[in-house]
C-alpha cells in the first residue's frame, strides 16, 4: 500500500545492495531524481534493468554501482553513445560490467510477462539476429498447433522498480499519461515499486475511466519531486531539456569531468533542486491539454 | 532548382518512396526527416509510428529522440510499448520499416551493436533497440544512410538485424515471410536488391554523383543496374519543405535550450 | 481503410456464408444492430466466436445460422441461461451446433495473440480444469527456462469482427470508452472489421492521448447506428435495458414465441429503429462524464 | 435484532470474511452482494474487481451483470479484458476470488458447465467464464451458495474449476501454489476445509439452523467441527446496509425498466 515518503526514505526503504532494479521511462518521465538519490546513497552490485538505459544508467555505471546491465538500447537518445557504459564494457572502468542484451520487442515482452506473472515471454523475434547466439536467455519455443518456432525470454521481475509520473491522488493511486512506455508493466512486474510524482491532487474524479492508473496497492512508496524527471520531460508539465542531453555527450566522455559534474550536480544536490531545473521548460510543455 | 546538398537529396529521394497509404515505423535521424517530408508533400495521410508508442503522429518539428512530447501531442493515439511491439509491429500492421545503420552490408544486413568482437568490443554501439523485429515483421524495409567505407562494408561485425542474410532465398529458408530490405537511399544513389541474388544494386545516381564516387565510398564492389537512371533533383516544394522543417527544428531546439538555461540560472 | 457505409452495405460487403465471425462486446457495447442486419441477410454456416455469447448469438443460433460456437460463457448475463443455445446443444434444434469451449482467460489471451500476430497464446491456465480434457485446442507448453508447464490455445483470427463504439471522427478513426472489453483485440485479430457507432464527430482534438482508439486503417467499414447496442448500453450515451434481458429469458424459452419475436423485432425492423429503443434510457446513461 | 432471512444471513456472514485490504475478484450474484456489504460496513477500502475490467469499483446499486456501467463509473480504473486476466488475475494481485456455484462438491470443486455428459448434456449451463483461472490464480477462494441437494453433491458432473480436487495435497501435486477454497458460506452455515483432508467442515451454524437442516440440504455426509459455533446474527448496521443496497438496486432496475418501456413506446 502506497506510503507518501520523502525521496531519501523511499529509496532507503526499498532499494538494497545487490538488487535487480529498474528505473524505467521510455524517453519520457525518466526517474532522474530517484536515480540521483540512489547514487547519493551509494548502493553497490546492482543489476540495472532498462529498455533504454540513458543518462541515469550512464551515471550509475560510471559511479561503479552496477555489476550487470540488462537492456535493449544503450544510447543517449537522439545524440549518440553512452560514454560511461562504453568505458565499462570496453575497458572495465570503473569495474567490469556484465551485460544481458535484448531487442526492444524482447524486453517489452519480458516486462509484460513479469506483470502477467508468467515465467517467460513468447513472441516472434530475433529471426536471423545474432543476439540469439550470444545471449543464453533467448531460447526457441515451438507452437504446439502450427509447429512454428518462436522466441522465448525469461520474464523480467525486478526487486524494485522506480518510475516518475505526473500525479498521485491523496489515496496514493498514480496517473501516468502521454508516452506511457513500459512503466505500468515495470511496476506490476516488480516486488516493490517507488513512484516520484510532479504533484498530489485531491482525487481523479472527472478523469476519463480508461486512463493509465496504478492503484495504490500496487505501489510501495510515493515521493513528491516536482521536476523529478529532468532532463527528460513530463507531458503537460515541462519540456525535454534537449540541450542537457547534448551536453552530456561531452561530460560523459571524460572520466574526470564526469566525476566533477556528479560531485556538483548529484552528490551535493537534493531532490528539491529538480524543481528549479525545469522552471524554464514549463512554457514549452506539450500543447495538447491533459486533464 | 540548383543548390542542394547530398544529404538533402538523400532525404528527399527517400521521402519519394513513401506512399500516402503507408504505415511507417520510423527510425530516428534520416528516416524521421524523410518520413516527415513525405507527409508534408505528396503523402499527407501517411501513418508515422515511432516505437515510443505514438501512432499517426504529425510533428511540426523533428524530434531529437523517438519519444519527444511533440510526437504524442500530434498522434492519433499513444499506446504502451508492449502493445506497440505486439499488436502493431508483430501484428503485421507496418508496411514500411524505415531504418538507419551504423554498418551495412550489400545484402541489407545491419549492425548497430559492436565494432569488433561482441565479448570484447573495440567500440560498443547502442545496440539494436527495435530493429531486430522491425527488420523481420515490417512488410518491407527501407534503409537510408550517408555513404562511407566505414559504414558500408563487405562484412559487418555483428548481425543486429537481418536483411537478406547471405542473399538469395535466405529469408525464406529461415521462415521469414516478409520482403526485407527493398530500398537503400544514400547521399549518392538509390539502390534496390537484385531480384535473384538480393545484392543491393545502384539503380539511380543522384545529380552530380558518379559511379566512381559511389564505389569510393562503399566497402564492397558495387554493382550498377544496366538501366541506370538519374534521380530527379529536388523540386522547389520538396527542398523548401525539408529546409523549413529543419529550420523549425533548429529554432525549437535553440529556444528550448535557452529556456532551460534561463530556468536553471533562475533556480 | 474505413469507409462510411449504410449498415446493410457494410454487412453485405464484409460477411460471407461460412465465415468465422466475432460480434464482440463484454456486456457493454454489444453490436446488436449489426447482428440483426446479419440475421436479416440470412447468412449460413457461420462459426460464431465470442467470449460471452448472449442474446444476439442466442438469436443467430436460434435462426439456424451457426454451425459452430467458440465461447467461454454462454449465458444471459445476470439472468441465466441462453435457451436457444441450449436447444441447439441439447436437442440439435434447429441444427446441430459444434462447440469449442474455453475459459475467459483463454479466450482473452487467444484474441490478444490474434491481435499480436502470433499462432498461439501462452498462459497459466486450466490447471485441474476438465475443459482441457474435452477441448483438443488446449495443449501444454513448457517454459524453456523454468520447466513450468503452461497452457497454449490457438490464436483467434476471425474473418470479420463486428463491434459497436461511441464515436468515429470524420477520418474514420474510432473511439471506444468505458468498459472496453476485448474489442480492440477482436478488431486487430480479424481480417476485416466493421464498426457501428453512435455518432460521427469532426475530430478527436482535445481528447486525452491515451484513449482507446482504432486508427481508420484498421477498420473496413463504419456505419452510424444510434442505439445500435440496445439492449446493451453505450457508456455516456444510454443505460443498459435490464428489463429486455429479463424478458428475453421468457422469449427464448419457447420456439414459437422466439420466432414470432424475431419476425416482428428483427426481420421486419431496420437499423434506424434502434434509436427509438434507447430514447428512454438516455437519462440513465452513466453519470461519469466522458469527453 | 430479529427477523432476517437465511439468504440475508448468508450474505452478511460472507461479507464479514472480507478484510479492508483485500483485493477481491467478484463473481456476480451472492458474491457481489457480500462484497458490497463489506465495503459499505467494515471494509470501506476493500478493492472490488469485476472481470469486465473495472478495478476498485464502488457501485451504489448492485449490478445485474458483471459489466454494468455503474461499475465503470465508480472504478479507480477500467482496463481491457486481456489485461484483467493477465496482469491482475494471473499476475497474482487478487487476494480473494469470490465465486458462486451451480454444483459444488465437498472439496470445493465447482461445476457450472453441464449437468450430465459433456458431449450430450442433460442441461447445458453457461460454462466457466473466468472461474477456472480465478480458482487457481487467486490467493484464496471464498464460495457462497444457498444449500440444496441438487447443488451440493457427492460428485460433480464436470470439473469447471478446481478446488481441492480429491482432497489432501491434490493442488500441490498439480503444481498449484495458491490456497484454493478456504471458506464456504451457505444460507445455513459457515464451512472451512479440514486442514488435512481439505473436506469442507461446518464450523459455525447460523442462528436457527440445525445440523439436521444442514445435512438435509446437502448431498454428501456432512462433517461438523468439534468446536461448532453459532454465527452471530446480523447487526442492525449490517442488515440495514444490505436491505438499503437491495432496495436501491430494485428501485434502480424498476426505474430503468419503466424508462426503457416509455422509450420504446415513444419510438
Q: Is the CB of D31 inside 8 Å of chain C's CB atoms?
A: no
What is the average per-residue pLDDT within D133-149?
97
Cβ-based burial of C92 (10 A; exposed 0-12, middle 13-18, buried ≥19): exposed
Mean pLDDT score, D39-55: 97
With cut-offs at 50, 70 and 90, classify the pLDDT of residue B266.
very low
Is pLDDT at B261 greater than 80 in this prediction?
no
Looking at residue C290, what is its pLDDT? 44
In this structure, are residues C277 and D267 in contact, taking their beta carbons and an 8 Å threshold?
Answer: yes
| Mean pLDDT of the residues in chain D | 94
Compute φ and ψ for D121, nearest 5 degrees: -75, 150
Question: How does pLDDT run across A149-179, given as a tens digit for each residue?
Answer: 999 999 999 999 999 999 999 999 999 999 9
Reported confidence tier of residue B253, pLDDT bands at 50, 70, 90? confident
Distance CA D24, CA D94 (A): 6
Q: C95 in helix, strand or coil?
A: coil
Residue B154 in grid coordinates: 563487405
Catalytic center residues of B = 51
The domain limits of chain B are 6-266
Map residue C166 onto helix, strand or coil: strand
Over range A221-243, report the average pLDDT: 96
Full domain range(s) for residue C164: 3-101+157-282
What's the pLDDT at D265? 44
The answer to whether the Cβ–Cβ distance between B256 and A284 falls below 8 Å is yes
| Annotation marks residue D51 as catalytic | yes
What confidence score (pLDDT) does residue B2 get?
62
Residue A85 contacts by C-beta under 8 Å, 6 or more apart in sequence? Answer: A53, A57, A58, A61, A69, A74, A97, B124
The pTM assigned to this predicted structure is 0.97
Query: How many residues are given for chain B?
Result: 267
**Number of compact structural domains in chain A:** 1
Give the pairing type, strands C174-176 and C212-214: antiparallel
Which CATH number fits the domain that encloses residue C25? 3.40.1080.10
Question: pLDDT at residue D254 above 90?
Answer: no
SS3 letters for chain B?
CCCCCHHHHHHHHHHHCCCCCCEEEECCCHHHHHHHHHHHCCCCCCEEEECCCEECCCCCCCCCCCCCHHHHHCCCEECCHHHHHHHHHHCCCCCEEEECCCEECCCCCEECCEEECCCCEEEECCCCCCHHHHHHHCCEEEEECCCCCCCECCCCCCCCECCCCCCCCHHHHCCCCCCCEEEEECCCEEEEECCCCCCEEEEEECCCCCHHHHHHCCCCCCEEEEEEEECCCCCHHHHHHHHHHHHHHHHHHHHHHHHHHHHHHHC
Q: Residue D13's pLDDT is what? A: 98
Element (H, E) at D7: helix D6-16
Q: How far apart are CA B32 and CA B25, in angstroms?
A: 9
Whether residue D148 has pLDDT greater than 90: yes
Q: Find the closest chain B residue to A290 by CA distance.
A: B73
Mean pLDDT rounded to a whole number for chain C: 96
Residue B209 clears pLDDT 80, i.e. is over it: yes
pLDDT tens for B24-45 read 999 877 899 999 999 999 999 9
Q: Is the pLDDT of residue C191 over 90?
A: yes
**What does each C-alpha distance from D199 to C116, D164, D203, D224 come to in angstroms?**
43, 8, 12, 11
Is the model's pLDDT at B263 over the cut of 80? no
- Stretch D109-131: mean pLDDT: 96
DSSP structure class, residue D109: -
User: If pLDDT is split at 50, 70 and 90, which confidence band does D263 have?
Assistant: low
Closest residue on chain D to C96 (Cα) = D120
Cα nearest neighbour of B54 on chain C: C209
Average pLDDT over residues D91-106: 96
The percent of residues in chain B predicted with pLDDT above 70, rounded, is 97
Count A/D contacts: CB-CB distance under 8 Å: 45
Q: How confident is the model at residue A291 (pLDDT cuts 50, 70, 90)?
A: very low
Q: What is the mean pLDDT of residues B87-110?
A: 97
**CA–CA separation, A81 and A95 (whole Å):** 19
B185 is written with which cell numbers? 537511399
pLDDT of A85 > 70? The answer is yes
Question: How far is the C-alpha of A272 from the C-alpha of A253, rounded, in Å?
Answer: 28
| Predicted pLDDT at B265 | 44
Give the whole-angstrom CA distance, residue D135 versus residue B37: 55
**A286 confidence band (pLDDT: 50, 70, 90):** low
Q: Is C213 within 8 Å of B77 when comparing Cβ atoms?
A: yes
Q: What is the CA radius of gyration of chain A?
A: 19
> How does residue C201 score in pLDDT terms, banded at 50, 70 and 90?
very high
3-state secondary structure of C233: coil
Element (H, E) at A163: strand A160-169
Contact at CB, D70 and C286, closer than 8 angstroms? yes
Classify residue B261 by burial, with Cβ atoms within 10 Å: 0-12, 13-18, 19+: middle
Choose among A115, A173, A210: nearest Cβ to D91.
A115
Per CB-CB distance under 8 Å, the chain C contacts of B79 are 210
D19 DSSP 8-state letter: -
A129 within some domain: no
For residue C289, what pLDDT band results from cuts at 50, 70 and 90?
A: very low
pLDDT value, residue B65? 84
Query: What pLDDT does B262 receive?
Result: 60
pLDDT of residue A287 exceeding 70, the answer is: no
The predicted structure's pLDDT at residue D256: 73
Residues of D in contact with A217 (CB under 8 A): 21, 23, 47
pLDDT tens digits for C230-267?
999 999 999 999 899 999 999 999 999 999 999 999 99
Angstrom CA distances, A168 to A175, A225, A226, C154, C290, stand at: 6, 11, 12, 40, 21
- Summarised one tens digit per residue, pLDDT across range A7-33 is 999 999 999 999 999 999 999 999 999
Rg (CA), chain B: 19
Query: What tens digit of pLDDT does each residue of B136-174 get?
Result: 999 999 999 999 999 999 999 999 999 999 999 999 999
Is residue A187 assigned to a domain? yes
Q: Do D87 and A1 touch (CB under 8 A)?
A: no
Contact: B87, C217; criterion CB under 8 Å = no
Q: Which residue has the higher pLDDT, D208 or B263?
A: D208
Strand C120-123, strand C149-154: pairing: antiparallel
Domain formed by D6-266, architecture: 3-Layer(aba) Sandwich (3.40)
Across the A/B interface, how many CB contacts are shorter than 8 Å?
A: 232
Q: What pLDDT shows up at residue D257? A: 73
Which chains, if any, share at least 3 CB pairs under 8 A with chain B? Answer: A, C
Average model confidence (pLDDT) across chain A: 96
Local structure of residue D167 (DSSP, 8 states): S
Give dist(CA A259, CA A265) in Å, integer: 10
Contacts of C116 (CB under 8 A, 6+ apart): A123, B86, B87, B90, B91, C155
**HSE-up of D191 (CA within 13 Å, CB side)?**
31
Nearest Cβ partner for C211 among B23, B77, B92: B77
Residue B233 CB: number of other CB atoms within 10 A? 17
- For D125-138, the pLDDT digits (tens) are 999 999 999 999 99
C-alpha pair distances (Å), B249 with each of B50, B246, B253, B254:
18, 5, 6, 9
Amino acid at each position: 500500500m502506497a506510503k507518501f515518503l520523502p525521496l531519501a526514505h523511499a529509496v532507503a526503504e526499498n532499494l538494497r545492495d545487490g538488487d535487480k532494479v529498474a528505473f524505467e521511462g521510455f524517453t519520457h518521465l525518466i526517474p532522474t531524481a530517484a536515480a540521483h538519490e540512489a547514487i547519493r546513497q551509494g548502493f553497490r552490485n546492482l543489476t540495472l534493468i532498462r529498455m533504454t538505459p540513458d543518462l541515469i544508467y550512464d551515471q550509475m555505471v560510471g559511479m561503479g554501482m552496477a555489476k550487470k546491465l540488462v537492456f535493449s538500447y544503450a544510447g543517449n537518445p537522439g545524440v549518440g553513445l553512452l560514454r560511461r557504459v562504453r568505458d565499462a564494457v570496453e575497458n572495465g572502468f570503473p569495474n567490469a560490467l556484465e551485460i544481458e542484451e535484448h531487442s526492444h520487442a524482447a524486453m517489452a515482452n519480458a516486462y509484460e510477462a513479469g506483470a502477467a506473472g508468467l515465467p517467460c515471454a513468447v513472441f516472434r523475434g530475433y529471426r536471423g539476429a545474432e543476439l540469439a547466439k550470444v545471449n543464453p536467455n533467448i531460447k526457441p519455443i515451438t507452437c504446439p498447433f502450427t509447429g512454428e518456432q518462436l522466441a522465448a525470454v525469461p520474464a523480467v521481475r525486478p526487486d524494485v522498480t522506480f518510475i516518475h509520473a505526473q500525479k498521485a491522488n491523496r489515496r496514493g493511486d498514480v496517473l501516468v499519461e502521454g508516452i506511457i512506455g513500459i512503466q505500468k508493466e515495470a511496476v506490476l512486474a516488480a516486488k516493490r515499486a517507488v513512484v516520484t510524482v510532479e504533484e498530489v491532487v485531491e482525487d481523479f474524479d472527472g478523469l476519463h475511466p480508461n486512463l493509465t492508473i496504478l492503484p495504490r496497492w500496487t505501489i510501495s512508496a510515493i515521493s513528491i519531486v516536482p521536476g523529478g524527471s529532468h532532463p527528460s520531460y513530463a507531458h503537460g508539465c515541462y519540456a525535454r531539456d534537449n540541450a542537457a542531453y547534448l551536453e552530456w555527450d561531452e561530460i560523459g566522455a571524460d572520466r574526470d569531468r564526469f566525476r566533477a559534474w556528479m560531485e556538483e550536480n548529484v552528490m551535493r544536490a537534493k531532490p528539491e533542486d529538480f524543481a528549479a531545473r525545469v522552471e524554464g521548460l514549463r512554457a514549452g510543455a506539450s500543447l495538447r491539454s491533459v486533464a | 532548382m540548383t543548390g542542394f546538398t547530398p544529404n538533402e537529396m538523400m532525404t528527399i529521394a527517400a521521402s519519394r518512396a513513401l506512399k500516402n497509404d503507408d504505415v511507417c515505423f520510423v527510425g530516428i535521424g534520416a528516416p524521421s526527416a524523410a518520413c516527415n517530408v513525405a507527409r508534408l508533400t505528396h503523402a499527407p495521410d501517411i501513418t508515422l509510428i515511432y516505437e515510443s508508442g505514438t501512432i499517426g503522429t504529425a510533428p511540426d518539428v523533428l524530434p531529437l529522440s523517438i519519444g519527444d512530447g511533440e510526437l504524442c501531442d500530434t498522434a492519433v493515439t499513444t499506446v504502451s510499448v508492449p502493445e506497440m511491439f505486439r499488436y502493431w509491429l508483430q501484428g503485421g500492421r507496418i508496411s514500411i520499416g524505415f531504418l538507419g545503420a551504423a554498418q551495412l552490408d550489400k545484402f541489407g544486413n545491419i549492425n548497430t551493436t559492436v565494432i569488433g568482437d561482441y565479448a570484447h568490443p573495440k567500440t560498443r554501439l547502442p545496440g539494436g533497440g527495435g530493429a531486430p523485429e522491425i527488420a523481420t515483421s515490417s512488410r518491407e524495409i527501407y534503409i537510408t544512410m550517408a555513404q562511407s567505407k566505414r559504414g558500408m562494408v563487405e562484412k559487418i561485425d555483428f548481425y543486429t538485424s537481418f536483411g537478406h542474410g547471405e542473399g538469395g532465398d535466405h529469408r525464406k529458408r529461415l521462415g521469414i515471410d516478409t520482403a526485407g530490405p527493398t530500398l537503400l537511399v544514400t547521399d549518392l544513389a538509390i539502390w534496390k536488391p537484385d531480384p535473384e541474388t538480393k545484392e543491393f544494386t545502384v539503380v539511380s545516381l543522384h545529380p552530380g554523383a558518379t559511379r566512381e564516387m559511389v564505389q569510393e565510398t562503399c566497402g564492397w564492389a558495387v554493382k550498377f543496374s544496366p538501366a541506370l537512371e538519374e534521380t530527379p533533383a529536388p523540386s522547389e516544394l520538396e527542398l523548401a519543405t525539408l529546409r523549413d522543417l529543419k529550420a523549425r527544428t533548429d529554432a525549437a531546439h535553440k529556444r528550448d535550450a535557452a529556456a532551460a538555461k534561463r530556468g536553471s540560472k533562475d533556480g
